Chains A and B, each alone.
Chain A
Amino acid sequence: MKLKLATLALAGAMTAAVPAMADLVFPSLSYRTGPYAANGIPFADGYADYLTLLNERDGGIGGVPIKMLECETGYNTEKGVECYESTKGEGALVYQPLSTGITYQLIPKATADGIPVHSMGYGRTSAKNGKVFPFIFNYPANYWDGASIAVKHLLDLNGGDIAGKKVALVYHNSAYGKEPIRTLEELAKKHGYELSLLPVDHPGQEQKSQWLQIRREKPDYVLMWGWGVMNQVAIQEAANIRFPMENFIGIWWSGSENDVLPVGDGANGYKALTLANPGMDYPIYDALKTYVYDKGMAAGAGDQAGTVLYNRGMYAAMLAAEAARKAQELSGVAQIDAGMMRDGMEALAITEARMTELGLPNFGPEFAVTCENHGGSGLGKVQQWDAATGKWNVITDWIESDKSIIDPLVLEDSAAYAAENGITEGCN
């Protein structure tokens, strides 16, 4: 760690002196402080460790070393802007801010600067439409996919018929939490369930009213779009009112160890969606141990390996690295720039064979990005918490979202954005 500090300082001094782009620069807009720190830390650690692994084992990507610039946002949009401005001049290839607010901020800015943004499973859903958002990517799945996957899971549980069932949505009262409402309403029309909405204000420390209401109205299922402390409190309150946990399903941002561990046994059976598998049973962890952990180069406190959000951070880094590799292949240049990175992301295809090669067999969904579709395949799994063993167990195979509902919504929303900002559609 001491060594790392020294190298970091040295690297800092060197880049200050020579702004030439000798590395592949991946900025990491992380948040290890503030109200959402507990969620930000594992993601940032996973992201950093994977990139460190590439540097240590392969000497970077295509022979060019990776430089990760970490910048603390504290989940605050103003600091996010500062971070963006301070790193974009260093030759940043792709931004992954892990905050819906900051993503909205960066969409116009990054597009104008020609730097791609990858909001993996968050951010603006309609950015899926690559014709309108050429520089924004949100593969492999987005919030609307998530809403649809959750409803599909309910359909599977009920033999394909949930007409007349009552579904409640407990959501973070912000841009992030409001995202699935439209989709769930449309799906309600299609499948005939009753939807009720229960907003929870930031930070969500006090949710007694919402859960008393759930207790009174006895919905058959509760969906949750929560983040930070709101998750633990909601799961705790659900356990308190003895709501059947297997009927309580969170989005992928409401399904980490942090959310269920504080609740203890009460959380047993709680379900959440997932974008990539949890756990450490992957060959890549052997490599990480050899090249990163044992050398004392693990990011942060080094105690997050194998958690849901750590794996997701690692997955995000893996997708970014693969896109960079693709970009090198397409352009024939090892030292790619942001524009080439964008082309690489747009041509990205993740196959099972490739994931196995990378030491992550059956880890995430297979998908291919195209110019029109920046949103990937829209696949997700459902995982369930087992309090006795303290593990998330994946209980379904990949579930595909209902594109017949989502695609028109994406088109409508992106068309509105295009009209508002005078964007002509690309991909012709």
Chain B
Amino acid sequence: MFYREAGDFSTTYPQDSQTFPIRFDRYRYYAVLVIAFAVVPFIINDYWLNAIFLPFLIYSIAAIGLNILVGYCGQVSLGTGGFMAVGAYSCYKFMTGVDIWLMGADGQMIQYALPPINIFFSVILAGLVTAAVGVLFGLPSLRIKGFYLAVATLAAQFFLVWLFNKWEWAYNYSASGQINAPTRGFLGVDVTGPATEAWATYLFCLMFVIGSAVLARNLTRGSVGRKWMAIRDMDIAAEIIGVNPLRAKLSAFAVSSFFVGVSGALFFSVYLGAVEVGEAFGIQKSFLVLFMIIIGGLGSIFGSFAGAAFMVLLPVLLKNTLVGTLGWPTDLAAHIEFIIVGALIVVFLILEPHGLAQLWRVAKEKLRLWPFPY
């Protein structure tokens, strides 16, 4: 009926290969952007921000990053938590001013501190640092495949968490090893620290989300993305047709880790404000993000968003229903939440192994034919 492509004619190649070739899709996309930028900031409050929007936006970036690696390049990684930690700690160092210790002439260590960098650039730089670390831990992927690789990436997870727990320089020698985000502003508005406005942090994160999505979308449909997919589908065959597996795999690790690092940086600086590495970036985080992309759909940018929304919303929704509305004791509710989340994951995988993105695709197909299916 209203969802159709009749009358949509592509007269140029760019038109034909655009992200949203159907006009209705395109308008819907613009409408979402308008709501996200022009409506939500005016109605958002602290609860919605901290319980729903910030985790959703930040996990979306992480999910996009992991999806590039797992969904597009076929390299299963369980090191997401560790890479987020790299992002968080490097962001902390950049925003407080990186200090370098050099041996002076008299044998004394002298501290040189760079000036603190603006939070926006700190986040980007944190992503770049994480990309470098990601490439390093991606090297074994040239030899190891499948589950062996998945378990091998756990080495990154555990090592990085241990490192940031131990390496005093990384947390500026604080007594407890916690890092705290000081107040920092972007364009004159505070986005980190205790006294931030809900709309400011929301818009700051949204900006990164949109940027990441556009970047990821354009990378995955270009030659880089096609190389990744060739490697995913069959690496030997890809090699024969001229894809360099070294470059393809490592570039996937780099790009993926960049996004994951950015999300880790935002997670620490904007969302939580204080972080302890073992607790915030433990192995649970790696599994959580992997869940998001599997529930959402491997190899789909939309799927990353859908999966993040699902995994962030579901527990909050369940908790509010069971405890808030039904008035159950909190512990029973928490146990039942576990049971329901677990069962839903299984049910989902049985009903639609390709995730929410596939459901969405099927729904669109149906809508195109509705009300006259053949």
A contact residues vs B (CB 8 Å cutoff): 5-6, 8-12, 16, 30, 32-33, 37, 41, 70-72, 74, 76-78, 81-82, 85-86, 88-89, 100-101, 104-105, 107-109, 111-112, 124-125, 173-176, 178-179, 181-182, 201-202, 300, 413, 417, 420-422
C-alpha gap A85/B328 in the complex (Å): 20
* Cβ–Cβ contact A105 & B273, under 8 A: yes
Q: Which 9 A-B pairs have the closest CB atoms?
A: A32-B331, A9-B327, A108-B194, A112-B194, A175-B176, A8-B327, A72-B330, A33-B334, A104-B274
Q: A86-B51, A108-B193 are in contact. Are A420 and B279 (CB under 8 A)?
A: no
What's the nearest-Cβ distance from chain B to residue A10, in Å?
A: 8
> Which residues of chain A have C-beta atoms less than 8 A from B335's C-beta?
33
Q: Is B55 an interface residue (CB 8 A)?
A: yes
Residue interface mask B326-339, A partner, CB < 8 A = 1: 11111101110010
> Which residues of chain B have C-beta atoms less than 8 A from A176's C-beta?
176
Q: Is B195 an interface residue (CB 8 A)?
A: yes
> Which residues of chain B have C-beta atoms less than 8 A from A417's C-beta?
180
Q: Is B324 an interface residue (CB 8 A)?
A: yes
6 example contacts (A-B, Cβ-Cβ < 8 A) are as follows: A5-B327, A32-B331, A32-B334, A85-B49, A104-B178, A421-B183
* Cβ–Cβ contact A182 & B324, under 8 A: no
C-alpha gap A390/B323 in the complex (Å): 36
Q: Tally B residues with Cβ within 8 Å of A.
A: 44
Q: A33-B331, A72-B333, A420-B180 are in contact. Are A78 and B175 (CB under 8 A)?
A: no
C-alpha gap A385/B278 in the complex (Å): 31
> Which residues of chain A have C-beta atoms less than 8 A from B280's C-beta?
77-78, 101
What's the nearest-Cβ distance from chain A to residue B267, in Å?
A: 9
* Cβ–Cβ contact A178 & B326, under 8 A: no
Residue interface mask B159-193, A partner, CB < 8 A = 1: 00010010000000001111010110000000001
C-alpha gap A30/B182 in the complex (Å): 28
What's the nearest-Cβ distance from chain A to residue B264, in Å?
A: 14
What's the nearest-Cβ distance from chain A to residue B61, in Å?
A: 16
> Which residues of chain B have C-beta atoms less than 8 A from A100's C-beta?
176
Within 8 A of A (CB), among B47-77: 47, 49-51, 55
* Cβ–Cβ contact B334 & A124, under 8 A: no
Q: Is B325 an interface residue (CB 8 A)?
A: yes
C-alpha gap A101/B55 in the complex (Å): 18
Query: Which among B47, B49, B176, B193 is the interface contact of A179 at CB below 8 angstroms?
Result: B176
Query: Which among B176, B279, B330 is the interface contact of A124 at CB below 8 angstroms?
Result: B176
> Which residues of chain A have C-beta atoms less than 8 A from B165's C-beta?
173-174
Q: A81-B50, A85-B46, A421-B183 are in contact. Are A174 and B331 (CB under 8 A)?
A: no
Q: Is B276 an interface residue (CB 8 A)?
A: yes
C-alpha gap A70/B51 in the complex (Å): 17
Q: Is B22 an interface residue (CB 8 A)?
A: no
Give 20 new A-B contacts, CB below 8 A, not counting A6-B327, A101-B280, A179-B176.
A10-B327, A16-B324, A33-B334, A71-B323, A78-B280, A82-B50, A85-B46, A85-B49, A85-B51, A101-B276, A104-B274, A105-B273, A108-B193, A174-B278, A175-B177, A179-B175, A181-B175, A201-B278, A300-B329, A421-B182
> Which residues of chain B have C-beta atoms less than 8 A from A41's C-beta?
331
Q: Is B272 an interface residue (CB 8 A)?
A: yes
Q: Is B319 an interface residue (CB 8 A)?
A: yes
* Cβ–Cβ contact B177 & A72, under 8 A: no
* Cβ–Cβ contact A72 & B334, under 8 A: yes
* Cβ–Cβ contact B334 & A108, under 8 A: no
Query: Which among A72, A81, A413 is the interface contact of B331 at CB below 8 angstroms?
Result: A72
Nearest neighbor of B195 in chain A, beta-carbon distance: A112
- Most chain B beta-carbon neighbours within 10 Å: one of A85, A89, A300: A85
Query: Which among B50, B162, B279, B319 is the interface contact of A85 at CB below 8 angstroms?
Result: B50
Q: A71-B330, A175-B178, A178-B175 are in contact. Are A85 and B47 (CB under 8 A)?
A: yes
Q: A174-B276, A178-B176, A201-B278 are in contact. Are A422 and B183 (CB under 8 A)?
A: yes
What's the nearest-Cβ distance from chain A to residue B334, in Å?
A: 4
Q: Is B316 an interface residue (CB 8 A)?
A: yes
Q: A12-B325, A77-B280 are in contact. Are A420 and B182 (CB under 8 A)?
A: yes
What's the nearest-Cβ distance from chain A to residue B288, in Å?
A: 10
Query: Which among B193, B276, B331 is the interface contact of A175 at CB below 8 angstroms?
Result: B276
Q: A104-B274, A112-B194, A420-B180 are in contact. Are A86 and B47 (CB under 8 A)?
A: yes
C-alpha gap A9/B326 in the complex (Å): 6
C-alpha gap A19/B14 in the complex (Å): 55
> Which residues of chain A have C-beta atoms less than 8 A from B51's C-beta?
81-82, 85-86
C-alpha gap A88/B324 in the complex (Å): 15
> Which residues of chain B have C-beta atoms less than 8 A from A108's C-beta?
180, 193-194, 273-274
* Cβ–Cβ contact A89 & B47, under 8 A: yes
* Cβ–Cβ contact B194 & A111, under 8 A: yes
> Which residues of chain A have C-beta atoms less than 8 A from B275's C-beta?
77
Q: A12-B325, A30-B330, A82-B50 are in contact. Are A105 and B274 (CB under 8 A)?
A: yes
> Which residues of chain B have C-beta atoms less than 8 A from A173's C-beta?
165, 278
> Which residues of chain B have C-beta atoms less than 8 A from A30's C-beta?
330
> Which residues of chain A have C-beta atoms less than 8 A from B162's C-beta?
201
> Which residues of chain B have C-beta atoms less than 8 A from A178's C-beta?
175-177
> Which residues of chain B have C-beta atoms less than 8 A from A112's C-beta?
194-195
> Which residues of chain B have C-beta atoms less than 8 A from A11's C-beta?
327
Q: A81-B50, A82-B316 are in contact. Are A202 and B331 (CB under 8 A)?
A: no
* Cβ–Cβ contact B46 & A202, under 8 A: no
Query: Which among A9, A77, A421 is the interface contact of B272 at CB below 8 angstroms?
Result: A77
> Which residues of chain B have C-beta atoms less than 8 A from A182's C-beta?
175
Nearest neighbor of A126 in chain B, beta-carbon distance: B175
* Cβ–Cβ contact A5 & B328, under 8 A: yes
> Which residues of chain A have C-beta atoms less than 8 A from B175's C-beta?
125, 178-179, 181-182, 413
C-alpha gap A81/B47 in the complex (Å): 9
> Which residues of chain A have C-beta atoms less than 8 A from B195's C-beta?
112
> Which residues of chain B have C-beta atoms less than 8 A from A86's C-beta?
47, 51
> Which residues of chain B have C-beta atoms less than 8 A from A81's C-beta?
50-51, 271-272
> Which residues of chain B have C-beta atoms less than 8 A from A10's C-beta?
327
> Which residues of chain A have C-beta atoms less than 8 A from B176's C-beta?
100, 104, 124, 175-176, 178-179
What's the nearest-Cβ distance from chain B to residue A72, in Å?
A: 4
> Which residues of chain A have C-beta atoms less than 8 A from B271's C-beta?
81
What's the nearest-Cβ distance from chain A to residue B326, in Å?
A: 7
C-alpha gap A112/B274 in the complex (Å): 15
What's the nearest-Cβ distance from chain B to residue A62, in Å?
A: 27
* Cβ–Cβ contact B319 & A72, under 8 A: yes
What's the nearest-Cβ distance from chain B to residue A48, in Å?
A: 10
* Cβ–Cβ contact B183 & A105, under 8 A: no
> Which residues of chain B have C-beta atoms less than 8 A from A175's C-beta?
176-178, 276
> Which residues of chain A have C-beta atoms less than 8 A from B273's C-beta?
105, 108-109
> Which residues of chain B have C-beta atoms less than 8 A from A89's C-beta?
47
C-alpha gap A413/B165 in the complex (Å): 19
* Cβ–Cβ contact A74 & B183, under 8 A: no
C-alpha gap A300/B9 in the complex (Å): 65
